[in-house]
Amino acid sequence: MAHANDIRRRFANREVTTGQIIMFGLTGGLIPCPASITVLLLCLQLKEITLGATLVLCFSIGLALTMVLSGALAALSVKHVSKRWSGFGEFARKAPYFSGALILLVGIYLGYQGVHALA
């Protein structure tokens, strides 16, 4: 909670720039995820170090490009929609609550299905 408050305080009343989106994508995409570490370890076990490093590098570059493009697309989309729909800001502020309620309902449904299948 303290981390979220620190982020909220640090970025309050600031516009996100394209450069910040690019840096977010690059730093997030170049850090290998557990799946790429698994691939690297499997390649190391097979003594294919070059293959493993190449796969992780290509995966990271692809992930970085995907994050940059999706972030830029999201930023442009928000800017475009907010110009056309004045209530978009209020909708965006309430969206996490709707999303959380939907996930909660799906969880309850799946829990019910699991209990029903065990009975």
pLDDT, tens only, 19-39: 777 777 666 665 667 888 888
Q: What pLDDT does 63 receive?
A: 80
pTM of the model: 0.51
Nearest of 79, 61, 65 to residue 17 by alpha carbon: 79
Q: What pLDDT does 15 receive?
A: 76
Token pair 């909708």 in the structure block, residue: 91
Average pLDDT, the chain: 82
Q: What is the largest CA-CA distance in the chain?
A: 58
- Give the distance, in angstroms, between the CA of residue 38 and the centroid of all CA atoms in the same chain: 20
pLDDT, greater one: 75 or 48: 48
